[in-house]
Structures are given as structure tokens and as C-alpha cells.
Amino acid sequence: MTIQVKADATACCCCAGELYLLATLPHPTMAESSRQVRLCPRCDADKGAAQGLLSYFAVHGSAREGDSDFLARLIKEWLDAATAARFEESGWSADYEMWKSGEL
């Protein structure tokens, strides 16, 4: 798995504000495909797992030397929650379980 995280002036697709981070991840079900996860200080303000990163960038502005281990933990926490939320929203696993058990 390759995760690329970059902090630049990429605009948020929802509010058009500046993103803190943009991560490009392999797509979970389609080989050769990728998807992007965005960290926006406005749109993600109410997401618990994003709070550590949002606070970090609000205070420091960008990644600082010597913080790589700390940032890696925050990024992992954010991406774990962001990618898990996508699956819950899609309802795929719940639908599949219902279909398997004959309820659908």
C-alpha cells in the first residue's frame, strides 16, 4: 500500500477552501485504481479522528521537522476513520450480510 500525503494549495471540492492534506490511496476494491481522501479545516471540523491533525496544522501551518512520527500517528488515525466511514456510508457490507442471510 502506498499512501501519498501532500500539503499544498489544493482546493476543497466542497467548500473551495484550502485543504490541509490530500492523501491518495489504493482503491479498496478496484485494482489499478486509487482514491483521494481530503482533510479540510472547515468540512472536517466535526470529525473526531481529524481533530489531532486539524489542531496541528492550525497551530503550525505545515509539517515541521522532527514531528514525522507524531504526524504519522495522526495521519493513520485520520485515514483509518476516513476510510472506515466510507464503507459504512456505502452500506455494502450490511447489504451483503443481509443478502447472505436471505433477508434481502
Closer residue to Zn ion, CB minimum distance, 45 or 84? 45
Torsion angles phi and psi, residue 25, rounded to 5: -120, 155
Question: With CB under 5 A as the contact rule, which of the stretches 40-48, 57-65, 68-76, 81-89 interacts with Zn ion?
Answer: 40-48
The position carrying cell 455494502 is 92
Residue pair 100/55 in contact by the 8 Å Cβ criterion: no
CB of residue 26 to Zn ion, shortest distance in Å:
24
The partner residues of 35 in beta bridges, in order of sequence, read 25
**Site size toward Zn ion, by CB under 5 A:** 6
Question: With CB under 5 A as the contact rule, which of the stretches 37-45, 56-64, 71-79, 92-100 interacts with Zn ion?
Answer: 37-45
Q: How far is CA 61 from the centre of its chain?
A: 19
12 binds Zn ion (CB under 5 A): yes
45 binds Zn ion (CB under 5 A): no
The C-alpha atoms of residue 76 and residue 74 are separated, in whole angstroms, by: 5
CB of residue 98 to Zn ion, shortest distance in Å:
34
